Amino acid sequence: MDQNGALDSLFQEERVFRPLPQLVIEANVNPQELEAYRRQAAQDPLAYWEEAADELDWFKKWDQVLDESNPPFYRWFPGGRCNIVYNALDRHIETANKNKLALIWEGEPGDNRKYTYYELYRAVNRFAGALRSLGVAKGDRVALYMPSLPETVIAMLASAKIGAVHTLVFAGFSPKALRERLRDSGARLLVTADGFYRNGQVIQLKPLVDEALAGAEAERVDSVVVVRRTKVDVEMQDGRDFWYDDLVRNERNEAPTEVMEAGDPLFLLHTSGATGRPKGILHSHGGYMVGVHRTLTHVFDIKPTDIFWCTADPGWITGHTAVVYGPLLAGTTTVLYEGHPNYPQADRLWHIVDKYGVTIFYTVPTMIRMLMRFGVQYPRRHDLSTLRLLGTVGEPIGPEPWMWFYKNIGRSECPLLDTWWQTETGMFMLAPLPISLLKPGSVTKPLPGVEADVVDRDGNSLPSGKGGFLVIRRPWPAMAAGILGDEERFRREYYEAIPGGAYFAGDVAKKDEDGFFWIQGRADDVLNIAGHRVGTAELEAAFGSHPAVCEAAVVGVPDAIKGEAAKAFLVLNPGFQGSTDLIQDLKRHVRGELGPVAAIKGIEFRETLPRTRSGKIMRRVLKARELNVDPGDLTMLDQE
Ligand code: WT7
Q: Using 50, 70 and 90 to split pLDDT, how confident is the model at 9?
A: very low
Lowest mean pLDDT among 180-194, 309-323, 508-522, 602-616: 602-616
**pLDDT score at 171:** 96
For the chain, give every domain's residue range. 525-627
Measured between alpha carbons, how far is 244 from 164 in angstroms, rounded to an integer?
Answer: 18
| Residues forming a β-bridge with 67 | 75
Mean pLDDT, residues 474-501 taken together: 96
> Cβ distance 56 to 87 under 8 Å?
yes
- Intra-chain end-to-end CA distance of the chain, in Å: 18
Per-residue burial over 606-625, b if 16 or more Cβ lie within 10 Å, else e, is eeebbeeeeeebbbbbbbbe
Stretch 515-543: mean pLDDT: 91
- Tell me how far apart the alpha carbons of residues 244 and 131 are, in angstroms, rounded to a whole number: 10
Q: Which helix (H) or strand (E) holds 190?
A: strand 189-193
How many angstroms separate the CA atoms of 343 and 196, rounded?
14
As a whole-number percent, the residues of the chain with pLDDT over 90 amount to: 87
Nearest CA to ligand 1 atom 14: 422
How distant, in Å, are the alpha carbons of 206, 263, 385, 505, 523 from that of 283? 28, 8, 37, 17, 24
Probe ligand 1: pick from 268, 313, 533, 562, max atoms within 8 Å of CB? Answer: 533
Atom of ligand 1 at shortest range from CA of 443: 17
Q: Residue 363 above 60 pLDDT?
A: yes
Residue 135, C-beta contacts closer than 8 angstroms, at least 6 positions apart: 188, 223
Task: Tell me what pLDDT residue 524 has.
Answer: 85
pLDDT at 49: 98
| Residues paired with 280 in a beta bridge | 270
The minimum-distance atom of ligand 1 relative to the CA of 526 is 25
Which of 228-233's residues contact partners 24+ apart within 8 Å by CB, and which partners?
228/193, 228/194, 229/147, 229/149, 229/193, 229/194, 229/195, 229/196, 229/197, 230/193, 230/194, 230/195, 230/196, 230/197, 230/202, 230/204, 231/194, 232/194, 232/195, 232/202, 232/204
Distance CA 412, CA 361 (A): 15
pLDDT (0 to 100) of residue 430: 98
Question: What does the pLDDT look like over 278-319, one tens digit per residue?
Answer: 999 999 999 999 999 999 999 999 999 999 999 999 999 999
- Report d(CA 116, CA 333) in Å as an integer: 9
Distance CA 414, CA 486 (A): 43
Read off the pTM: 0.93
3-state helix, strand, coil in the chain (%, to 5): 35, 25, 40
Tens digits of residue pLDDT in 588-634: 999 999 988 888 999 999 999 988 777 778 888 888 888 877 665 44
CB contact at 8 A, 167 and 315: no
For the segment 110-163, what is each residue's pLDDT rounded down to a tens digit? Answer: 999 999 999 999 999 999 999 999 999 999 999 999 999 999 999 999 999 999
- Residue 483 Cα to ligand 1 midpoint, Å, equals 18
Residue 525, pLDDT score: 84
Residue 222 sits at the vertex; the CA angle it makes with 220 and 227, to the nearest 5 degrees, is 125
In sequence order, what DSSP letters do the residues of 532-590 get, joined into one string? EEEEHHHHHHHHHTSTTEEEEEEEEEEETTTEEEEEEEEEEPTT----HHHHHHHHHHH
CATH class of the domain defined by 525-627: alpha beta
Give residue 616's pLDDT. 77
Pocket of ligand 1 (CB under 6 A): 271, 317-318, 393-396, 418-423, 443, 505-507, 519, 522, 528, 531-533
